[in-house]
Amino acid sequence: MEIKELEHPICRLGECPVWDEVNNCFYWSDILFGKIFRFSLLSEKVDIIYETERQIGGLLLSEDCRLILFTDRDVRKLTLGTKKVEVIYQMNFETGERFNDAIADSAGRLWAGTMDATFSKGKLYRFESGKAPAIVLENLGITNGMGFSGDGRTFYHTDSIPGTITRYEYNIQTGEIAHGTLFYKMDEQDGCPDGMELDAEDNIWTACWGGGQIMKLSSSGEILERIPIPAKQPSSLAFGNDQILVTTAAKEADKLTTGYNNNGEFVGGKSYILTK
């Protein structure tokens, strides 16, 4: 694959990439700095389109082309043209807790995970119109990448602390998950699993935080491909227009303006477009 580095300010924690087919662009957030970036495939330029004092730990695109933001305080909708913000769920988080990754199912339910400062009390929430947020999983380390199989009958969930991806049976009519089984446990030398995406063949693509790569896994858990990324901390990925956007983080960098540590290693903070 051809890998192209995008020109933009270093992201402390680049994450949550989503594809906007209507406007032919990718969005992603710098979680800790509360910024939303946009990369247009037409102009091939990156812009910062929104900034807030809140940490943006999850990002989704609604059917009416508004962005849904999962922050350290609430879930809100952002109208891009006017920058109007509408809070749709107010959360009662404990100190140090925030959202970390989100996904929507084919029935329109929203799923979002959280993490806390102890890396032991993370939760997975399900949001449905007209209902209070439901806690589906508890006592997670860092709840992270999620995905649904093409037939909607399987749900995948990542917990980055034990380095595991768990597979659940999914009931699309009720939104219930059941019978969780270990799908994949990542070797320490490969990093830990972070954001994920499923392709049309139900292969699982996962960003390997600390491993400098993304991995393509079959639906049976076999490693099909490893794609090196020129940064130590790939954090997530998204498909769009036959390309893949990969976000990375400079969380362990000594100099945030460059993304390098004192050993001269590029930790991350840039984003990349992968093209076959």
Give the active site residues. Answer: 194
The CB density around residue 194, as the number of other CB atoms within 10 Å, is 29
Rounded to an integer, what distance in angstroms lies between the CA atom of residue 194 and that of residue 163?
9
Is residue 259 classed as helix, strand or coil in its secondary structure?
Answer: coil
Helix, strand and coil percent figures for the chain, each rounded to 5: 0, 55, 40
Supply 185's token pair.
């446990």
Supply 40's token pair.
């247009």
Asked whether the beta carbons of 267 and 46 are under 8 A apart, the reply is no
Rounded to an integer, what distance in angstroms lies between the CA atom of residue 91 and that of residue 13?
22
DSSP label of 151: T
Rounded to an integer, what distance in angstroms lies between the CA atom of residue 64 and that of residue 169?
30
